Copies of this chain bind each other. A is one copy, B any other.
Amino acid sequence: MVKVGIIGATGYAGAEIARLLLGHRDAEIKWLVSKSFVGQQYEDIYRNFFEVIEKDCSDISIADMAKDVDVIFTATPQGYLQGILTPDILDKCRFIDMSADYRIKDVAIYEKWYGIEHHSPELLPEAVYGLTEVNREKIKAARLLANPGCFTTCSILTAYPLMKEHMIEKDSLVINALSGVSGAGRGAKVANLFCEVNESAKAYGVTTHRHTPEIEEQLGYAYGDSVTLQFTPHLIPMHRGILATETARLSKKPDGTSYSYDEIKSAYDRYYAGERFIRVLKKGMCPETRFVEGSNYVDVNFMIDERTGNIIMMGALDNLEKGAASQAVQNFNVMFGFAEEEGIDMIPMVP
């Protein structure tokens, strides 16, 4: 059994990691850390765990926990882990970090978009970006795993094959993404009250959302050159789900003609046909978040608009699963040599 600690266990992502690991054959949760609820019973905070988890919320130090477990999941605010992690601690156990602290290789970009100083930039080179389907090999040996963001996972995987194959013009990408409210976390803010969010929709973080440089960096690796794109997130009234709608100009083929549906489809299949958790839908079907809810799936598809010369790519995932917790467990499985689907082979629940 792999011994696990979770820091930030009372946030939505932390609680979801706990839930998934309880169903994992080879994981044993040793510590649940939550600064806000130290000493309280976990089952009193999330009563879905009543009679399931009988632990208290602890405030054990990260250094002490590192000696006691094999891996620590940190579902903590931006800046927490990079401010506290040391090579010494990292020698003792592996880390799967849900924050952006080790996702962006260029410290200057991190510090500019997040507005905080990075205190352990020396660990960045070894950090592995945990987009499982893209970085599987590197993840196997990772000690410090930077789990991708929810918008990011969805946005990247939706466009990845076409960017990789240079089938779209690299700087033409316009990503409009919709998010459920759980992405905003469990903090007590007026803006996230039921009566402020329900029956409404809005864009937010326009031109400034922090997932932008992360998407650009990863799609840049895919393309083999820097990518600049427009990312506009929206908040809509539902619990879970990310839907990314990505419009780009289709490149021309070397002979000057246009790519056909079949050629684009083949590109997607080339990368995803063997992937259990990425489903390229049938022609004409648009991804819907309900059909991935509660699962590790990403559903993607595309439509070509011959009238405009654009392609519209679409992707859907559950922001707390493939966008956070279940991808973290997927990476955990890769890191520790378990079957990749262990503990995360849920079929989406409808309705």
> Hey, which bits of chain A sit against chain B, CB under 8 A?
12, 15, 19, 22-23, 44, 46-52, 174, 176, 178, 181-182, 186-190, 192-204, 206-207, 228-230, 232, 234, 236-241, 243, 245, 247, 279, 281-282, 285-295, 299, 303-305, 307-308, 310, 312, 314, 316, 345, 347-351
Min CB distance A70 to B, Å, is: 23
Contact across chains for B51 and A279 when beta carbons are under 8 A apart: yes
Known A192-B193, A236-B236: A230·B204 in contact at CB below 8 Å: no
Contact across chains for B195 and A239 when beta carbons are under 8 A apart: yes
Contact across chains for A47 and B285 when beta carbons are under 8 A apart: yes
Q: CB within 8 A of A193: which of B194, B202, B241?
A: B194
- The copy count of this chain in the complex is 4
Return the chain B residue nearest A53 by Cβ.
B347
Contact across chains for B186 and A195 when beta carbons are under 8 A apart: yes
User: Contacts of A193 on B, CB cut-off 8 Å?
Assistant: 181, 186, 188, 192-194
User: Contacts of A239 on B, CB cut-off 8 Å?
Assistant: 194-195, 198-199, 351
A36 and B284 CA atoms in complex are apart in Å by: 22
With contacts A199-B239, A201-B316 known, what are 15 further pairs, Cβ within 8 A? A12-B351, A19-B349, A50-B291, A51-B279, A176-B245, A178-B178, A181-B193, A182-B351, A186-B195, A194-B197, A194-B198, A200-B238, A202-B287, A207-B304, A207-B307
Contact across chains for B196 and A230 when beta carbons are under 8 A apart: no
Across the A-B interface, the 7 shortest Cβ-Cβ residue pairs:
A200-B290, A48-B348, A195-B351, A176-B176, A202-B288, A207-B305, A47-B291
Contact across chains for A347 and B186 when beta carbons are under 8 A apart: no
Contact across chains for A48 and B234 when beta carbons are under 8 A apart: no
A42 and B57 CA atoms in complex are apart in Å by: 41
Contact across chains for A286 and B176 when beta carbons are under 8 A apart: no
A304 and B230 CA atoms in complex are apart in Å by: 11
Q: Return 11 A-B CB contacts under 8 Å, by A number.
A: A48-B350, A49-B347, A194-B194, A194-B239, A198-B238, A200-B293, A201-B243, A207-B304, A207-B305, A230-B305, A232-B312
Q: Which of A236, A293, A303, A349: most chain B CB closer than 10 A? A: A349
A234 and B52 CA atoms in complex are apart in Å by: 26
Contact across chains for A186 and B190 when beta carbons are under 8 A apart: yes
A18 and B44 CA atoms in complex are apart in Å by: 33
Known A197-B194, A234-B245, A304-B207: A279·B174 in contact at CB below 8 Å: no
Return the chain B residue nearest A285 by Cβ.
B47
